[in-house]
Structure 1
Amino acid sequence: MPEPGAPLIVLGAGTPWDGVPGTDRRMAAELLRHARVLWVDPAFSVVTRHGLRQGTARRFGPSLDEPEPGLIRLRPVAPPLHTRRRVRPATRAVLRAQIDHALRRLGERPYAVIDSRMGRMLSGWEPGVRRILYGTDDFVGGAELMGGDPDEVRRDERASLDDADLVLAVSPTLADRWRGLGARDVRLLPNGVSPLPVAAPRESTLPRPVAGVVGQLSERIDITFLEALADADISLLLVGPRDPRWAPGRFEELVARPHVRWTDRQPYESLPGWFAQMDVGVTPYARSAFNRASFPLKTLEYLAAGLPAVSTDLPATRWLDTDLITIADGPAAFVDAVRRAAVPRPELVAARRAFAAGHSWQARGEVLAAALGLVPSRTEETPTWQS
């Protein structure tokens, strides 16, 4: 909980506060140690059934509430067809007006504005307000995957980089690309991991060994690797929601096998129990620009659970620089790596957990707080916001 009088940070989030917790929500939770946060949900159209179902459009206007101390949530509304190219400038103007109205209600001037969704929300702030672009993914590389227009997102990226005082990138690849585009003050801020309690061993109905995947099942994953594991009589436990556009037909055939289980979406609190049923955690990401610029949360989560981790070759995994993660490319090599990793090595469990603890969200949050001047850096005696 932030102290009274702590600075206020506006955070444009990529997902609703009550959605699946992602990078932006976890960093917001860490920022609450040092600041108050005005969390801005993605806007929804006033005529969408989704918004009406959530009860957020009953007044056909934005709502403001405080789901936890120090965290104020703004649920904005947008005009109809708000994602269309011709309507998007009006959408941005309407969103900014709602943020300004929320700030007036709070009687506050923000200390900083963080845009974590490439929403062009960094322009037009008064002097002294820090403007931060937080790249939690390669938005350009993932535009088509997320149903966007790559050229339009590229223009958003250029405008956002020009407006930002500080640019935070989730991976070395993304940081290097943004430096190459001339962005000023680009810093690496990788994803982290939350401590996971040790779950009591739970008997699995799947034959051993069991390879597990946690997280969204989408085009980011190369289903060929999962099929190869199943073909090699390695059981699969798939924990997470599936994008229906991903591998139609092939996915249904995969999960129909007797030694493959798909749980669909599960609450985060239940993960330790699922991890306890796995012998190996796998990150079988496909070769794509989007994945090369990503920083998979799941790999660190496997280590935090004490599991061996096997991943396809990703720059972020190379950056972690640990032999606790086995890198394997190609289905055959991946299968061999999973078989070797599945051999129990109890002496490595503590080392895996300790490594993950060094990459905790709290540690990442302290890096962000120092970059924002909320806490002293090694060369500062007082936080910037107090000076």
Structure 2
Amino acid sequence: MTGDLKQSWAGTVIICAAHHWEGVRLHDRQLAENLASHVPVLYVDPPFSVLTRWRRPELRQALSGPRFRVLGPNLARLTPLVLPAMQRPGMSRITQFLKARLVRNAVLRLGGTVRALVETSTFAPIMGRCGEELQVYWAQDDFVGSADLLGLSAERIRRGEQDLLSRAHLVIAANPDVARAVSRPGRRTVLVPYGCDFEHFASAREMVPPLELVSLPRPVIGFMGHLGDRIEMPLLEAVADTGQSLLLIGPRHPRFARAAMDPLMARPNVHWVGRQDFEDLPKYLSVVDVGLVPYVDSAFNRGSFPLKTLEYLAAGIPVVATDLPAIRWLNCPDIRVAKGGKAYAEAVLEVLARSDADGIQRRQRFAAAHSWKVRAEAFAEALGVHLGQTQGAQKARRV
């Protein structure tokens, strides 16, 4: 175990994360870091096997150090190492057994008790196996709707989710449509949407843009995220047709819409900068005048909560989006909704033409009210945690 803090870990919340700690600071990690201001948190990575370091080179760092470490006050992390072929139906029970044993051992090493265990995935769940008082299913997306996109079995995901829903004492949903879909009589369901790292993205207003963008003609319309099947390509094409600079920030799926994407990338007013480190994203957003959320109407997108929407707003950038339940829920005057290429491009031009002296500050105030700090407070309340509880941090002392 790394770290030099000794504290009370009574009432620990275990987050069985859907994403690894390394890399982009996604919603699991953002919640854990902010929730640790109120209660001790043990962040459990998705299971690794000895083959992971070869199949996922970007995750090798997770296996280079201790599997269990204290990251700071109220925050510990466990990287479970299990057997290969972990997702095969016959192996999933072994994975569950090994993962649960490792989590229980981690709690013993911390000397703590478990207030709640938060499951985020239908794969190898360990709900009910770690002595937790409260069993929680964090319904992050429409997982069944995402099966085809991810190349997984929709039926297997459906069975797994129904099992979690039958055992959970509490369901916390990240999307209004998902919240309605998973609600059951006699069991509490709470809507806590994703938030944004407000301070990080608000820094875009003071950032110096990368050299490659200094000469980019203004105004700039920007998209930040994965260029893949969730995107409605005709919308990007229509925006590029306006002649304005179109900046694309993020990795491109090699098989996504190549017949349309290659010509789009070749246009003189389209600039693709590829994958960028999370820490550098505000620099790229510093040149953007309108942010795009051009998502296709799909089950997965309807059940998701596009983080980039709030990240644009935190950077002071107005947004043009397609009509999604999460967008409607936000009900923000600085998010313009449009459908179809012509209407979408016209909406972008209208937003660009709008003169609004207080716009930046208004958008940032809105985003600040939807920060991960605010979301963690709502999550803690749902778990029955008294806000302001910093038991572990207050009792922390040097060994």
Confirm or deny a common fold (TM above 0.5).
yes
Deviates more, 1:62-71 or 1:252-261: 62-71
Q: Is the 8 A contact 2:41 2:74 kept in 1?
A: yes
Q: Name the structure, 1 or 2, with higher relative contact order (CA <8 Å, separation 6+).
A: 2
Q: Distance in 1 between matches of 2:170 and 2:254?
A: 37
In structure 2, relative to structure 1, the CA distance for the partners of 1:244 and 1:97 (3 Å cut) is: farther
Q: Deviations over 1:151-203 (max 9, x none)?
A: 00001100111111110111110000011x55721110011122212225646
Q: Which runs of 5+ in 2 are unaligned?
A: 392-399
Aligned to 2:395: none
- Of 153, 158, 178, 2:182 maps to 178
* Per-residue deviation, 1:56: 5.1
Give the match's secondary structure for 1:207. Answer: coil
1:375 is aligned to 2:386:
yes
Aligned to 1:311: 321
Q: Is the 8 A contact 1:8 1:110 kept in 2?
A: yes
Q: Percent sequence identity over matched residues?
A: 38
Q: Is the 8 A contact 2:137 2:171 kept in 1?
A: yes
Matched positions, count:
374
TM-score scaled by structure 2? 0.87
Aligned to 1:187: 190
Q: Distance in 1 between matches of 2:349 and 2:272?
A: 21
- Of 127, 134, 142, 1:122 maps to 127
Q: Deviations over 1:77-106 (max 9, x none)?
A: 222211122222222222112212222222
Give the match's secondary structure for 2:217. Answer: coil
* Per-residue deviation, 1:57: 5.1
1:54 is aligned to 2:60:
yes
1:33 is aligned to 2:37:
yes
1:280 is aligned to 2:290:
yes
* Per-residue deviation, 1:256: 2.1
1:262 is aligned to 2:272:
yes
Deviates more, 1:190-199 or 1:46-55: 46-55
Amino acid at match of 1:355: F
Summarize the alignment of residues 62-141 of structure 1 with structure 2, pairs less than 5 Å apart.
63-119=67-123, 120-126=125-131, 129-141=133-145
In structure 2, relative to structure 1, the CA distance for the partners of 1:57 and 1:361 (3 Å cut) is: closer
Q: Distance in 2 between matches of 1:239 and 1:51?
A: 22
In structure 2, relative to structure 1, the CA distance for the partners of 1:137 and 1:8 (3 Å cut) is: same
Aligned to 2:206: 199
Q: Distance in 2 between matches of 1:306 and 1:183?
A: 42
Amino acid at match of 2:129: G
Give the match's secondary structure for 2:137. Answer: strand
TM-score scaled by structure 1? 0.89
- Of 156, 161, 164, 1:160 maps to 164
* Per-residue deviation, 1:362: 0.9
* Per-residue deviation, 1:131: 1.2
Aligned to 2:359: 348
Aligned to 2:253: 243
Q: Distance in 1 between matches of 2:367 and 2:352?
A: 19
Q: Distance in 1 between matches of 2:6 and 2:340?
A: 51
Give the match's secondary structure for 1:211. Answer: strand
CA root-mean-square deviation: 2.5
Give the match's secondary structure for 2:146. Answer: coil
Q: Which runs of 5+ in 1 are unaligned?
A: none
Q: Is the 8 A contact 1:51 1:57 kept in 2?
A: no
